[in-house]
Structure 1
Amino acid sequence: KDFLKEAGKWDFLISPNAYSTAIFRSAFQFRQAILETGYPRNDILAVQNSRASIGALKSKLGLPIDKKVILYAPTWR
């Protein structure tokens, strides 16, 4: 009940795809605009995954270029 009250204060909700949009609209009883833009914090990791962009990101973050990196990113749920 409290969560639905908070969701009623939102202007927008970000959704990764049409399937999730339908679920979010129902689960959160959300009547405002839902933006199907993906999840900006990690979409770049799937879209720009060439060796050059991975190397640049590792360099920027000070990570070893020759090592595999595992991202642990729990969701807001």
Structure 2
Amino acid sequence: MPAGTIRYWAGAKAAAGVAEEPYTARTLADALDAVRERHPGELTRVLKSCSFLVDGAPVGTRDHQTVQLAEGGTVEVLPPFAGG
């Protein structure tokens, strides 16, 4: 099973209480399910409004179950940012 790193930014980082943590999952959906189990509460709420990059590529509206994760990959969790 692929292993890599999940990086949290801004409000997601605050809700997770960590800047990054490892994943062991085949798909983005599986990785996010594990995140929700480890961090119930605020992070689960924040994830609903986040966008994601997998190895630098935007996930967009793709079904998270179809987004394959790679060995040594990176998932970036990006909450909405305030503009200015």
If the length of structure 1 is used for normalisation, what is the TM-score? 0.23
- Point out the structure with the larger helix share: 1
Specify which structure has the bigger relative contact order, considering alpha-carbon pairs within 8 angstroms and separated by 6 or more residues.
2
